[in-house]
């Protein structure tokens, strides 16, 4: 497309962590990334307080924390009715402009592929292919429609290979046996190849000053296969199935490394490259915390009669039933709805004698919950289960604090809690598993980028840094700051950081309506990922 040249390439690696990447670089699996890190800038990128995909990526792409951008989970919880309910978080829930919108407003093109909470696509000058969209709807979700037709004509867009196998993922997120992991990794190898080819086609056919793609297989594979590639544990797993899967995992990372190299080459010598993750990863502990079971023991939650006990070490149901249908709301004052948010909601009574906690008792009730959670110890080890309990004001200060969970838990091993009923609040995990860690990655290279090992950055710093890379001013209300240490002094002197007052109103031009079919399918996918 004439008149447009890539200035900034943003490559997202969901869940990437230096803990593993440095090992893969040292062992020759990812030589391109090694060269980039050696020649450019790198820093640990601190995620949101609860390091979860939707709030973290939205913080990264808006420069605002969740309390101000309004996204806290894969879902939005509605507590106004007689019983709590939830719907999916969509682009309509993002209450501040994204870097894609700000670039478009400034007269630049932007391309964004596979990022969460971008559906329905808010019209911009450029291309949006949202993430977390079911394959049967993905083609219709692309903005603009002309791009969809071009990608089909080029033969690179294959929706069935770019989305997920729900039945497979529903089982996989709870953990798979070694002899089932091979297919899991192969699927993500194919999927990343498809997103890469789509990105390369757009870089050639419809270049944008800001071009961004998210590879999320890093997260999915690490959840189930971390133990096979982590130097601390990999030698323990030497069965034939384990060895084959490990080689496939290494193939996946070699492929991604090659994609990084080819995209950098395609972007051109004038482009600045940023490689980032929404959070890091670490090995989970051996125990699962059943939050609703603990709340039941404390007398704060009741179950629907006949709710079965989980004996499979799960964090959510395999089938289509939502956790909210398991709870007896007439007997419940506090509850967890999704494993993803690590959150406990407090149900406030709507009138005298109604179910829930009277408004005047809210503060004292919340304080007792916090005290009880922090006092909880594993009876097998005697060690605390929960490291921190954040109130909504502590974790999510901002204009939308009232939409946030009442409490957010940080478990000592960073694991996700379970929303299911069990015969004890703590039970053994049945298969090896890995979980999110707050320390993600920031790597940069290109003209004007310094060779530097930086101190840690905050995830909100990426958005203003990208805007500055594009030559744009940074809205004054952004909470993040330009990572000036990532740029060479001469480059910064020639291009000082510019701030501006005001910005585009959030949601401008967005068609935020979801069809019932689309919402049902996306919710089904989130269940398949194991979070609902």
Count of residues in the chain:
532
Mapped onto helix, strand or coil, the DSSP state of residue 456 is coil
Using a 10 angstrom Cβ sphere, with 0-12 exposed, 13-18 middle and 19 or more buried, the burial of residue 464 is: buried
* pLDDT at residue 511 tops 50: no
User: In which band, very low, low, confident or very high, does the pLDDT at 255 lie, cut at 50, 70 and 90?
Assistant: very high
Q: Rounded mean pLDDT of 416-428?
A: 96
Element (H, E) at 276: strand 272-276
* pLDDT at residue 172 tops 60: no
Model pTM score: 0.94
Average pLDDT, the chain: 91
Parallel, antiparallel, or unpaired: how do β-strands 41-46 and 452-453 relate?
A: parallel
User: In which band, very low, low, confident or very high, does the pLDDT at 81 lie, cut at 50, 70 and 90?
Assistant: low
* pLDDT at residue 509 tops 90: no
Weakest-pLDDT range from 91-105, 137-151, 307-321, 373-387: 307-321
Weakest-pLDDT range from 29-43, 170-184, 346-360, 458-472: 170-184
3-state helix, strand, coil in the chain (%, to 5): 40, 20, 40
Do 8-60+97-284+435-472 and 287-428 fold alike per CATH? no
For residue 319, the model assigns a pLDDT of 61
Side-chain half-sphere CA neighbours of 193 within 13 A: 13
Q: Domain residues of the chain, as ranges?
A: 8-60+97-284+435-472, 287-428
Q: List the beta strands (DSSP E) in 191-247.
A: 210-215
Q: Rounded mean pLDDT of 469-484?
A: 97
* pLDDT at residue 271 tops 90: yes
Nearest Cα residue to 290 out of 269, 268, 309, 265: 309
Nearest Cα residue to 100 out of 81, 85, 83, 114: 114
User: In which band, very low, low, confident or very high, does the pLDDT at 510 lie, cut at 50, 70 and 90?
Assistant: very low
For residue 78, the model assigns a pLDDT of 86
For 206-218, the three-class secondary structure string (H helix, E strand, C coil) is CCCCEEEEEECHH
Q: In terms of CATH architecture, what is 8-60+97-284+435-472?
A: 3-Layer(aba) Sandwich (3.40)
Percent share of the chain, pLDDT over 90:
77
Angle (deg, nearest 10), helices 217-229 and 181-205 = 140
Q: Please give the Cα distance from 135 to 522 (Å, whole number).
A: 10
For residue 530, the model assigns a pLDDT of 60
Q: List the beta strands (DSSP E) in 326-438.
A: 327-328, 334-335, 343-346, 386-391, 407-411, 426-428, 434-437
* pLDDT at residue 265 tops 80: yes
pLDDT in tens, 192-247: 999 999 999 999 999 999 999 999 999 999 999 999 999 999 999 999 999 999 99
Element (H, E) at 170: helix 166-172
pLDDT in tens, 92-110: 999 999 999 999 999 999 9
Bond prior to 290 in cis (omega within 30° of 0): no
Mapped onto helix, strand or coil, the DSSP state of residue 518 is helix
pLDDT in tens, 289-344: 999 999 999 999 999 999 999 998 888 876 656 788 899 998 999 999 989 999 99
What is the assigned CATH class of domain 287-428?
alpha beta
* pLDDT at residue 504 tops 70: no
* pLDDT at residue 351 tops 90: no
Weakest-pLDDT range from 161-175, 438-452, 483-497: 161-175
Q: Please give the Cα distance from 169 to 529 (Å, whole number).
A: 6
* pLDDT at residue 350 tops 90: no
For residue 170, the model assigns a pLDDT of 57
DSSP state for residue 417 in the 8-state scheme: P
* pLDDT at residue 285 tops 80: yes
Are 104 and 491 in contact, with CB atoms under 8 Å apart?
A: no
Percent share of the chain, pLDDT over 70:
91
Distance of alpha carbon 144 from the chain centroid: 25
| Two structure tokens written together for 86 | 């939830």
């Amino acid at each position: 497309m004439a008149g447009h040249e890539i200035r900034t390439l943003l490559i997202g690696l969901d869940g990437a962590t230096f803990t593993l990447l440095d090992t893969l670089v040292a062992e020759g699996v990812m030589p391109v990334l090694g060269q980039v890190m050696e020649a450019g800038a790198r820093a640990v990128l601190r995620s949101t307080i609860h390091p979860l995909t939707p709030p973290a990526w939205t913080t990264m792409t808006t420069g605002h924390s969740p309390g101000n951008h309004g996204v806290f989970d894969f879902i939005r919880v509605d507590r106004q009715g007689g019983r709590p309910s939830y719907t999916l978080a969509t682009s309509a829930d993002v209450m501040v402009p994204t870097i894609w919108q700000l670039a478009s407003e400034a007269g630049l093109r932007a391309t964004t592929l596979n990022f969460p909470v971008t559906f329905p696509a808010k019209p911009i000058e450029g291309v949006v292919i949202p993430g977390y969209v079911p394959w049967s709807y993905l083609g219709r979700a692309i903005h603009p429609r002309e791009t969809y037709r071009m990608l089909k004509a080029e033969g690179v867009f294959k929706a069935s290979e770019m989305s997920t196998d729900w039945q497979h993922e529903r089982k996989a997120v709870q953990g798979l046996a070694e002899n089932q992991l091979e297919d899991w990794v192969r699927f993500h190898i194919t999927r990343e190849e498809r997103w890469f080819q789509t990105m390369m086609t757009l870089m050639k056919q419809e270049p944008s000053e800001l071009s961004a793609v998210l590879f999320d297989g890093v997260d999915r594979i690490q959840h189930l296969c971390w133990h096979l590639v982590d130097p601390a544990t990999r030698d323990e797993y030497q069965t034939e199935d384990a060895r084959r899967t490990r080689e496939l995992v290494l193939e996946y990372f070699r492929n991604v490394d090659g994609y990084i190299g080819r995209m950098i080459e395609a972007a051109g010598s004038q482009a600045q490259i940023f490689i980032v993750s929404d959070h890091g990863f670490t090995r989970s502990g051996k125990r699962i915390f059943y939050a609703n079971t603990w709340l039941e023991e404390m007398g704060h939650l009741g179950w629907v009669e006949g709710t079965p006990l989980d004996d499979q070490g799960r964090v959510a149901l395999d089938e289509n039933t939502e956790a909210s249908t398991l709870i007896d709301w007439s007997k419940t004052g506090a509850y967890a709805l999704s494993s993803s948010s690590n959150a406990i909601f407090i149900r406030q009574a709507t009138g005298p004698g109604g179910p829930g906690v009277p408004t005047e008792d809210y503060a004292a009730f919340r304080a007792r919950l916090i005290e009880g959670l922090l006092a909880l110890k594993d009876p097998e080890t005697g060690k605390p289960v929960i490291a921190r309990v954040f109130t909504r004001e502590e974790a999510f200060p901002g204009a939308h604090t009232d939409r946030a969970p009442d409490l957010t838990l940080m478990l000592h091993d960073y694991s996700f809690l379970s929303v299911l009923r069990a015969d004890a609040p703590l039970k053994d995990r049945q298969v090896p598993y890995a979980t999110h860690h707050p320390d993600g990655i920031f790597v940069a290279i290109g003209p004007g980028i310094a060779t530097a090992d930086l101190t840690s950055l905050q995830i909100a710093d990426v958005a203003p840094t990208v805007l500055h890379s594009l030559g744009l001013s940074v809205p004054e209300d952004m909470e993040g700051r330009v990572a000036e240490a990532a740029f060479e002094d001469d480059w910064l002197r020639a291009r000082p950081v510019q701030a501006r007052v005001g910005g585009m109103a959030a949601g401008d031009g967005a068609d935020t309506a979801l069809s019932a079919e689309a919402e049902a399918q996306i919710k089904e996918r989130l269940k398949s990922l194991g979070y609902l």
